[in-house]
Structure 1
Amino acid sequence: MVLQLNYQTTLNEIINRHIAIGVEVEKHRISPDQTLSLRPFPENLSAELRPYVKREFCTSQLEFALPHSTDPELNVKLIGAVIKGTAQQLAPEEQIWHYSCPPQIPCPLAEVPISQVPEESNEYRRQSVLKHDVRRLLNNGTHINFSFSQEAIAYLMRELHFATRDDLYLQIAQYFMINRWLLTYLFGATPFAGQDYFDQHHLCGPVRSIRSSSLGFPNETRGDYRSVRHYIAAIDQAVANGELLQPREYYESVRLKSGNSKDPNRILKYGITHLELRTFDLNPLTISAVTPEQIRFIQLLALYFAYQPHLSGSQIQQLLAVAAEMNEQVALEAPTQQCAYATQGLTLLTELADFVERQQLEATFSEVLDQFRDCFIDADQTLAAQVLAQFDTY
């Protein structure tokens, strides 16, 4: 779709037609007693579902990967239809688990069935369960992949003086990393976990996001986002010194991606094609695990972050160190507690609202911001608080 540069509101066209979103949702299959299913991966799904239902680390896990679309409603509608259709075709005694933290595990941890397909991933998975607590590896989430069209990239590079496409994507990744605490506050949805999730560490009460905290998915390696080469070198070094088994084990909140490859070195040859945001808990209040409002918010943030000041390497290092501490604090706050950074959150949302007005974006984006602004005024409106109110601790 060609970008009409003679539009007065060029950014309105970009945000509605030139930011493609691809969503990946991971969910477990469970048995009638609400425990992790030990049955093999379902091989008999119908032909219309099979392209969108992938194998994951554990045989109980299903990954729903949908085509990229610029339409948030279409994204969510497709995801919901595929998940619902899959649920209807599972074995009669199986259901889909809609929560990020894993259900109770009905076997010794060493006997949790790990996927044997594809065969080339077997050794990596075997080493992963030796290195990490398998219960942490069983955390599921929603990954949002986004990319600009070539026309939008050309416009933004010229408008904002980015030398390359990689520079544009890198800056957006930097700002998403710096502000990921905001996404944890708004979209955290794991206030509790099953009784067998912990051995010795027990939370004093519900929190916003176990999965997004140090108690969630294993994520000990911190990335270096000062430049694309720093990003790649940090991952390569972590593999070389044994900190990471393979580049695919780099589980930071934002990944720079080139095609479908998990090897960041591909970026050096082909460039960044999209960013993968991995910071989202499943939303258990909707079968799709994500809402159109959440996707619109990501589209808006991506465009807004492109317009922010360029950061120096030293600034980025300092801001990322603070951001990691902020995210941990927010993730472990009580769901109904006012966020420690509510003032910063409201300020950012106000700046986003000003950006929407200044760039003449659609009223839909103002409505989304109003909804999320209310979450900072009243923590009971956050997703974590809603989950806590509607779900019993399992």
Structure 2
Amino acid sequence: MFSRIGQIIFDHEAVLEASDFKMGIEIEMNRVDKRGHLSREPYPAAVGDQAQNPWLTNDFLSTMSEIVTPAADNATDAMHYLYSINTALRTALAPGEYLWPMSMPPILPDDPHDLPIAATTPEKREYFDHWLERHRPSEGTPQGAHINLSINQNVIKLLSQELALSEKAVKNHLYKTLAQGFIRYRWVITYLFGASPVAEANFYGPDQQPFDHPVRSIRQSHRYGLGNDFIADYTSVETYARKIQEAVDAGELLKPTDYHGSVRFKGADEMKDLAIEGAKYLELRMLDLDPTSSIGIRTGTIRPIRLLAGYFLMSPAINDRDVNDVLKRADQMNGEVAEEMPTERTQYYEEARAFIERLQQFVNQIQAGPEYQEILYDFEYRINHPETTPSGRLVEKLHNGSLVDYAMRKAIKYQEGAQQALKPFHGFEENNGNLSADLLAKELFGGSWRVNYHE
């Protein structure tokens, strides 16, 4: 059933635009040596300065490369940005250096104090020093894929006119609805795309009990996933911003980015500004890296995410009075699904089938193309055959409880593929890699792939 907003979108034949999100992608990958240990090589000089290159930086570890694409007009362009920047990074690596394709980290040092903590700026080092006072060092080492979604401006204008509301009010409502939907059904995404069944050597601390079986996603689990005790309030964008700022002021969070929720409202550096200006895009943080893709995420994952976003956008938001209870229950479900044996049927099998049926009704209502029917067939098959999920398939690749051999075969294969590029990208060597989005597009593609970028 469409919400009032969904009906307006449908009646004005704007369904296609409502599903055509502007998109940016962020991928974290560790640099490793041939044994599957963290690399001891410095940040690759050929990709500029890690403190100045906005498209290739690092995260918690100096070996943890983070690829950030510009906001592209569509998913296809975002994926081509990602592929091209990923190739640029690979061709800049030192001999014998590779990109680790898994979400759970490679083999870590015996002594956690030997982890190469990133210190690109004094401010970043100070933040991580404070963070380490509250967390295990290895807790910051898992990696993932983040997707940034921005709603089509034409849809916002249409709804603003039809509902006689400001564009800010419309955007905040839409992003709130999207956030609630993705958090509410995060457990489905964890089931379908979870890909971190085991941890490698030295991830667990001496006082921690490892899982006694492979799971769907250690990275998304309650026991070992990155997070904190603070729980955001998604009743509204304003409430979200206020609660996070209060947590920072009370010392519960070090700063707003210390909130590692699966969904974050974005659009302003300061929480007080987010409350005033409103959300401009949504950051989805619940996807594990997919080791079957050289870039960490498959086009076959992006399309389902767009389908889910379109469905949530045109469906009713949760009643304000029920938001916290519903999302608390959803978080519990996600934790349980994340820790299930990946080759066994989920305990929420019936709920998963019911959700897929609702998606099928939605696809039929909007008369989406055959590619979306194929997505749902694939979803249904994975629900009925859990061994075909990413984590289910990875279980088959385990050797003595480890995925190092499998991961390194993939890493070497992807590295060899990148090194065969006829025209390696050298544009990051100038200006320390600090290129504008327009110049990046021109330098990266040079006519071989046309992207439409608008500031």
- Under a length normalisation based on structure 1, what TM-score does the superposition of the two structures give? 0.91
**Offset at residue 343 of structure 1 (A):** 1.4
Aligned equivalent of 1:208? 216
Aligned equivalent of 1:21? 23
1:106 & 1:362 partners in 2: Cα distance?
A: 49
2:242 & 2:11 partners in 1: Cα distance?
A: 41
Question: Aligned partner of 1:382: which letter?
Answer: T
Aligned equivalent of 2:4? none
| Contact persistence 2:22–2:75 (CA under 8 A) | no
Which residues in structure 2 correspond to 1:377-388 (within 5 Å)?
377-388=384-395
For structure 2, which runs of at least 5 residues remain unmatched after alignment?
A: 1-8, 405-455
**Structure 2 SS opposite 1:101:** coil
**Offset at residue 106 of structure 1 (A):** 2.7
User: Which of 318, 326, 330 does residue 323 from structure 1 map onto?
Assistant: 330
**Offset at residue 334 of structure 1 (A):** 0.4
1:278 aligns with 2:282: no
After superposition, the Cα gap between the structure-2 partners of 1:13 and 1:237, relative to the gap in structure 1 and judged at 3 Å, is: closer
1:229 aligns with 2:238: yes
| Contact persistence 2:178–2:309 (CA under 8 A) | yes
Deviation per CA, 1:283-325, whole angstroms, max 9, x where unpaired?
0111111112211111111121122223222211110111111
RMSD of Structure 2 on Structure 1 (CA): 2.3
Question: Aligned partner of 1:41: which letter?
Answer: Y
1:175 aligns with 2:185: no
1:80 & 1:107 partners in 2: Cα distance?
A: 34
1:101 & 1:231 partners in 2: Cα distance?
A: 29
User: Which of 289, 296, 307 does residue 296 from structure 2 map onto?
Assistant: 289
After superposition, the Cα gap between the structure-2 partners of 1:356 and 1:46, relative to the gap in structure 1 and judged at 3 Å, is: same
| Contact persistence 2:108–2:201 (CA under 8 A) | no
Question: Please, which moves more after superposition, 235-244 or 56-65?
Answer: 235-244
After superposition, the Cα gap between the structure-2 partners of 1:6 and 1:321, relative to the gap in structure 1 and judged at 3 Å, is: closer
**Offset at residue 382 of structure 1 (A):** 0.8
Aligned equivalent of 1:12? 16
| Contact persistence 1:39–1:59 (CA under 8 A) | no
After superposition, the Cα gap between the structure-2 partners of 1:58 and 1:6, relative to the gap in structure 1 and judged at 3 Å, is: closer
**Offset at residue 20 of structure 1 (A):** 1.2
Which residues in structure 2 correspond to 1:99-178 (within 5 Å)?
99-106=102-109, 108-157=111-160, 163-178=169-184
- Under a length normalisation based on structure 2, what TM-score does the superposition of the two structures give? 0.79
2:255 & 2:348 partners in 1: Cα distance?
A: 35
After superposition, the Cα gap between the structure-2 partners of 1:134 and 1:13, relative to the gap in structure 1 and judged at 3 Å, is: same
For structure 1, which runs of at least 5 residues remain unmatched after alignment?
A: none
| Contact persistence 2:177–2:316 (CA under 8 A) | no
1:281 & 1:156 partners in 2: Cα distance?
A: 34
**Offset at residue 158 of structure 1 (A):** 5.5
Number of residue pairs matched?
385
**Structure 1 SS opposite 2:373:** helix
1:119 & 1:153 partners in 2: Cα distance?
A: 41
**Offset at residue 340 of structure 1 (A):** 1.2
**Structure 1 SS opposite 2:335:** helix
| Contact persistence 1:284–1:387 (CA under 8 A) | no
| Contact persistence 2:194–2:287 (CA under 8 A) | yes
Deviation per CA, 1:152-196, whole angstroms, max 9, x where unpaired?
222345668875211111111111111111111111100000131
Return the structure number with greater relative CO, CA threshold 8 A, min gap 6: 2
Aligned equivalent of 1:352? 359
Question: Please, which moves more after superposition, 346-355 or 204-213?
Answer: 346-355
1:36 aligns with 2:38: yes
Question: Please, which moves more after superposition, 282-291 or 81-90?
Answer: 81-90
1:129 & 1:77 partners in 2: Cα distance?
A: 36
**Offset at residue 267 of structure 1 (A):** 1.2
1:283 & 1:308 partners in 2: Cα distance?
A: 29
Question: Please, which moves more after superposition, 85-94 or 375-384?
Answer: 85-94
1:209 & 1:159 partners in 2: Cα distance?
A: 43
Instruction: Report the identity percentage.
Output: 30
After superposition, the Cα gap between the structure-2 partners of 1:220 and 1:41, relative to the gap in structure 1 and judged at 3 Å, is: farther
**Structure 2 SS opposite 1:28:** strand
**Offset at residue 146 of structure 1 (A):** 0.3
Question: Please, which moves more after superposition, 270-279 or 152-161?
Answer: 152-161
After superposition, the Cα gap between the structure-2 partners of 1:97 and 1:343, relative to the gap in structure 1 and judged at 3 Å, is: same
| Contact persistence 2:45–2:92 (CA under 8 A) | no
Question: Please, which moves more after superposition, 22-31 or 61-70?
Answer: 61-70
**Offset at residue 147 of structure 1 (A):** 0.6
Aligned equivalent of 1:64? 67
> Which of the two has higher C-alpha Rg?
2
Question: Aligned partner of 2:330: which letter?
Answer: A
**Offset at residue 231 of structure 1 (A):** 0.8
